[in-house]
Structure 1
Amino acid sequence: MCGIYGSTVKYEDEIIFQKLARTNFRGPDYSGFERTGPVILGHNRLAIVDLDHRSNQPFNYHHLKIVFNGEIYNYRSLRIKLVAMGYRFTTDSDTEVIAAAFMEYRDNCVNHFNGMFAFVIYDTQTRQFFGARDRLGKKPFYYAHSGYDFEFASQPSQICIGRDVTIDELAINEYFIWGYVPEPKTAWNEIKKLEAGHSFRFDCNTGNFTSKKYWDLDLGRIELYKGSYAEAQTDLTRLISNAVDIRLHADVPLGVYLSGGIDSSLVAALAAKSYKNVKTFCIKFNEKGFDESVFAQKIAAHLQTDHHTITCNKEEGIELIEHFGQYYDEPFADPSAIPTLLLSKHTKKHVTVVLSGDGGDESFLGYSRYKWFNMVDQLFKCPLAVRKKIADVIRISPNYRHKLIALGICNSKISSLYGLTLGGLEYSWLNNPNIGLQVPFMDIWSSKSMSILQKLSAFDTKTYLNGDINTKVDRGTMAFSLEARAPLMDHRVVTFAQTLPDSYKFKSGVQKKILKDILYQHAPAQLFDRPKSGFSMPLNHWFKNELRDHVMDHLSISELQNIPGINVQKSYAMINEHMSGKWNRASQIWKLLVFSQWLKNQNLKAVSTYQVA
């Protein structure tokens, strides 16, 4: 786990040092760069496998130079195959295996890797770059390209140093809907994200940049699993067990995040079978309704792990909120990023690698919105006029959720409803929310061969898991030089889950059924007999109390006028609505607060990439 950088732009050494220093938290064990002709390659290393200095990067392998961020979990078996083909190795690192695999398989090398990765190889003979990002977007990759100038980095702020950049207003509108900027856009016009499951080539001789997809869910060609439910349990257990086992290899201390939920408990249970005295970590909030640490402690006691409970105090949480932008670079509004930062900060005191349960909800239908969408799907088969009449009846109820349902079923399409549910449905404070809803992968919703649950699972895997969860975990852990590994995001597990019938994952109101049944072979079911709780924090309460002055100062009328794409008066009214207790607007306020803070750190000019009719 590291930070990579490269460029063909002729920067002075001082600028390169600044770019590497900006993200030295990603790799504090070694930092350096090399110049080869017109090419600069730089690296910040967090040493995980083969701690020897010989594995420092940029790494040279024959006529290839490589910088690499991530882990290739199957590198040892792949190395054995390459040795049999005549390749020789001087280190025990996965970096060298990537370079050798590229020499043997060329662009197809990515299909041989099981891991999380963003890497770039420079061929000194052809003067070409080849690079790739892992299948599910676990590791970030940003780049800027103009003519013969090409620059890439693990975080966009590195690219911003030493160049002129402008804000993309359309991307910001998408941020206000989704809570992050969906790929391939970023908050800047000049910087893009390499999409998950894509590789690229850049030719220094011609200035030509091309990217191509090497992996996808292949939704149109997936055949449903033909075996029985019991057989599916056996096959899935084997896959997840192997995914956990190959992620337990490290030359540094290792632990597991244990929230007390289904996914992290399953990962912890399987890790405890293979890893003696495994350390587990959870976070504790004192606010009622936000503390699940007692459940995590009970599960840890049953699994006999070395458990650590980290208490989140208000002062530490508020301090992170006030300095949020320096960790996340881009506008990013998932409030669970704060507890992720806190948990990572204290976990790092004990281990350098941690396994998590990320990916289980998307593949095995765990989010509460899946149950809700499964119900309203039938309503969306009724004409809009009929749904509006139903909404008129429902909105009479004083219940907050009933009002949300009334708002939701008045949308013309269920796909539009999905985007709006992420932020509370009500977006009258945006000048034009509809333009922010049209993001990549919306075509999934038009599929006639997929059920609503299959569409939700696939769409979340391609968007929310990639853009939100992965960004949250990468920035939150790397801020404190901690590596996070997610066995349930092993592409084999994700692909297998897509083939399972809905009833294996969601049956009689029971979500993640097959995962739960596998977990119950390792821990008593009664330990999990409670409603699902997200990894969240009490922003609703804090904004009206401890952070009230902070919110009102940073989101005053004059401050709101600096934010593109919003209706200032409606936004200010919405904030006051929250402060009075009339409506919970914590999600929207958090988006505005994060963006306002980010904007102050940019000192940039907004350049519109769309026109409002």
Structure 2
Amino acid sequence: MCGIAGIFHRQPGVEINRELLARMNTIQSHRGPDDDGYHFDDSIGLAHRRLSIIDLAGGHQPIYNETGSVSVVFNGEIYNFAELAEELTELGHQFKTRSDTETIVHAWEQWGPDCVTRFRGMFAFAIWDNDKKQLFLARDRLGIKPLFYSQLSTGELIFGSELKVLTQHPLCPRAINNHSVEDYFALGYVPEPKTIYQGVNKLEPGHTLLVQHGDLPLQPQRYWDIPMDQTPVSETDIKEQLVERLKEAVDIRLISEVPLGAFLSGGVDSSAVVALMAQLQDDPVNTCSIGFDVPEFNETDFAQTVADRYQTNHHVKTVSSNDFGLIDKLSELYDEPYADSSAMPTYRVCQLARERVTVALSGDGGDELLAGYRRYNWHLKEESFRQKLPLGLRRPLFGTLGRVYPKLDWAPRYLRGKTTFQSMSYDWIEGYLNSMSILRADERRRLFNDQFKRDLNGYTALEVFRHHAATCPTDHPLSQVQYLDMKTYLVGDILTKVDRASMAHSLEVRVPILDHKFVEWAAGISPEQRLQGSEGKAVFKQAMEPHLPQDVLYRKKMGFAVPLCDWFRGPLKQKLESSLLSEHMLDSGLFNPDTLRWLVRSHLNGTRDNSASLWTSLMFERFLNREAN
């Protein structure tokens, strides 16, 4: 796993500032502590930081073709590189290394931009073709690896693996994108292709960007999309197929010349990955788990059950429930506002894993692909009701109930109807966003001040979901929201969390459930097989019954949570008040001070649980604080 960076000038003959590119590259040295490398050519500079995984001796980057006219810097892994190298050798290409990176160079020579369709893996890379005077940027299909870019007023295109790489350039835009602020307080992250800054973008998953001298404007091209329900999977032997296909995806991710292991949370997905790893290798699997000193947040007993069954080299570290010293660290790590508090235990489990391995497999993606979230069941019930009453009747009736019904966070679930009433007054897209939002639309309107709402000019985070819903290839209500999650939550929250937390410790994380071949197959499993009654990931769990204990497969889902509510009423009370009511927060021009004060006060006096809203606001304040210093 590595980091890449680059500067390309739209005008030929411009000399690239080598010292500046070196600074951009050095700021991401945590992504690749083993080596660095540079390439400079006509108006182009490429930079690379290396974490050595494959071909330790020969994998220095940039890597070139036979004549030196094509160069590449690459972050990720190409798992089918051996087969590609064999095919390309038969076509006349000459290899000088055993590195998967070199297959990218020769694949570009052979197939041009279509080379990305040949790669099986996770990747973000930049190719410079000096003969064609073309720069080619690409990102993997699911967005496992990140890539940021910006077109500057000087004609320079800058890019890198993290946002902090770009902000090393003195001309990188730093004006806050108002739409991104609205998106963030709805979702807890800034969704692709936006960043928190105007004029700085993320290359979306499954997209490429081809640039030549003089080109305007930038036009990313999609080369892949999630084929939900497009190729139905035969229900004959579906469970056996699922295990064998996932096992194959795990198997190709075991290639490594450095120590390799796995995360083991005790949940279904990570346990399945460990079980299949144990069946594929002779040596015991290296596994690690993070435990908490609060029982309701602790899953280590379930992880230990799996570890015992497969006799893994298991390592557990218990962290304090008051492990909130990471708050400022997380703000630095994610560069832009990011509100998933599970980033804290994720950071710790990556830290633990790196003590023993350089590569770890994870179970990320299973909930989105195979319908594991409880919210999917709630959405289907709501959608079934919506279809019985036209929107014209539902909107006034349930809209009124949603406005007047109190928010009873402390009450039993059956009495907490405010969000449900609101969702009933919407179509399915707005209803799902409402159920997913950290702060719902009405809460965001109260949070923002009048001037900021005018600056938004009617924009809401709903446009993010509507944009993706417009390209959704299915009309089944379960598949629709899974598609939305894989376009938004999976890449913007889950994969972002794991990439930054792991790379902070120079740890490579591989994600077999998000192997695109497995995704393409699993997307064809019928919705009824994915969600059976209220049982999410039903066919997956059934398929894994011979491999995992029942209490691991069918227990209540816990998640990777931290006790925010208690923190804010206890040890973080003073930090909460001083941060959210700080001068730079109140004077930011974004918020209604009265709402901020009410959020803090009503949480501290116990009348409401505002922990999610407060954490989201606190992480935004930490971002503002960094910007001011």
Q: TM exceeds 0.5?
A: yes
Q: Distance in 2 between matches of 1:507 and 1:525?
A: 17
Q: Distance in 2 between matches of 1:185 and 1:460?
A: 17
Q: Is the 8 A contact 2:22 2:47 kept in 1?
A: no
Runs of at least 5 residues in structure 1 that lack an aligned partner in the other structure: 605-613
Match of 1:477 in 2: 502
User: Which of 179, 193, 201 is 1:192 aligned to?
Assistant: 201
SS in 1 for 2:284: coil
Q: Distance in 2 between matches of 1:404 and 1:200?
A: 46
User: Which of 150, 155, 158 is 1:151 aligned to?
Assistant: 158
**Does 2:255 match 1:249?**
yes
Match of 1:438 in 2: 462
Q: CA deviation at 1:391?
A: 5.4
Match of 2:370 in 1: 364
User: Equivalences for 1:32-51 in 2 at 5 Å?
Assistant: 32-51=37-56
Q: Distance in 1 between matches of 2:600 and 2:427?
A: 28
Residues 37 and 391 of structure 1: is their aligned pair in 2 closer, same or farther, counting only changes over 3 Å?
closer
Q: CA deviation at 1:436?
A: 3.1
Q: Distance in 2 between matches of 1:320 and 1:204?
A: 44
Match of 2:420 in 1: 408
User: Equivalences for 1:415-434 in 2 at 5 Å?
Assistant: 415-422=429-436, 423=438, 425=440, 426-427=443-444, 428-431=446-449, 432=453
Residues 14 and 518 of structure 1: is their aligned pair in 2 closer, same or farther, counting only changes over 3 Å?
same
Q: CA deviation at 1:252?
A: 0.5
Q: Distance in 1 between matches of 2:189 and 2:404?
A: 34
User: Which of 587, 590, 597 is 1:565 aligned to?
Assistant: 590
Q: Distance in 2 between matches of 1:110 and 1:91?
A: 20
Moved more, 75-84 or 32-41: 32-41
Moved more, 249-258 or 167-176: 167-176
Letter in 2 for 1:26: R
Match of 1:232 in 2: 238
Q: CA deviation at 1:326?
A: 1.5
Match of 1:399 in 2: 411
Match of 1:57 in 2: 61
Match of 1:4 in 2: 4
Q: Distance in 1 between matches of 2:613 and 2:214?
A: 47
Residues 231 and 529 of structure 1: is their aligned pair in 2 closer, same or farther, counting only changes over 3 Å?
closer
Residues 378 and 449 of structure 1: is their aligned pair in 2 closer, same or farther, counting only changes over 3 Å?
same
Q: Distance in 2 between matches of 1:265 and 1:351?
A: 18
Q: Distance in 2 between matches of 1:288 and 1:313?
A: 12
Match of 1:579 in 2: 604
Runs of at least 5 residues in structure 2 that lack an aligned partner in the other structure: 10-14
User: Equivalences for 1:37-116 in 2 at 5 Å?
Assistant: 37-52=42-57, 54-61=58-65, 62=67, 63-116=69-122
**Does 2:392 match 1:387?**
no
Q: Distance in 2 between matches of 1:318 and 1:526?
A: 31
Moved more, 432-441 or 550-559: 432-441
> Deviation string for 1:31-83 (max 9, x for gaps)?
2323213211111100011111x321122223101100000111111111111
Residues 29 and 510 of structure 1: is their aligned pair in 2 closer, same or farther, counting only changes over 3 Å?
same
Q: Is the 8 A contact 1:173 1:565 kept in 2?
A: no
Match of 1:336 in 2: 342
Q: Distance in 1 between matches of 2:559 and 2:580?
A: 27
Match of 2:357 in 1: 351
Match of 1:182 in 2: 191
Q: Percent identity?
A: 33
Q: CA deviation at 1:387?
A: 2.7
User: Which of 162, 171, 178 is 2:180 aligned to?
Assistant: 171
Q: Is the 8 A contact 1:139 1:474 kept in 2?
A: yes
Q: CA deviation at 1:508?
A: 2.5
Q: Is the 8 A contact 2:34 2:50 kept in 1?
A: yes
Moved more, 166-175 or 561-570: 561-570
Match of 1:496 in 2: 521
Q: Is the 8 A contact 1:555 1:592 kept in 2?
A: yes
Letter in 2 for 1:18: R
Q: Distance in 1 between matches of 2:407 and 2:600?
A: 23
**Does 2:594 match 1:599?**
no
Q: Distance in 2 between matches of 1:491 and 1:311?
A: 34
Q: Distance in 2 between matches of 1:501 and 1:247?
A: 27
Q: Distance in 1 between matches of 2:415 and 2:338?
A: 27
Q: CA deviation at 1:435?
A: 2.9
> Deviation string for 1:136-181 (max 9, x for gaps)?
1111010111463111100111111132421111111111111111
Q: TM-score, normalised to structure 2's length?
A: 0.91
SS in 2 for 1:100: helix
Q: Is the 8 A contact 2:85 2:103 kept in 1?
A: yes
Letter in 2 for 1:534: G
Q: Distance in 2 between matches of 1:540 and 1:305?
A: 35
Q: Is the 8 A contact 1:140 1:154 kept in 2?
A: yes
Q: Distance in 2 between matches of 1:60 and 1:346?
A: 36
Q: CA deviation at 1:291?
A: 0.6
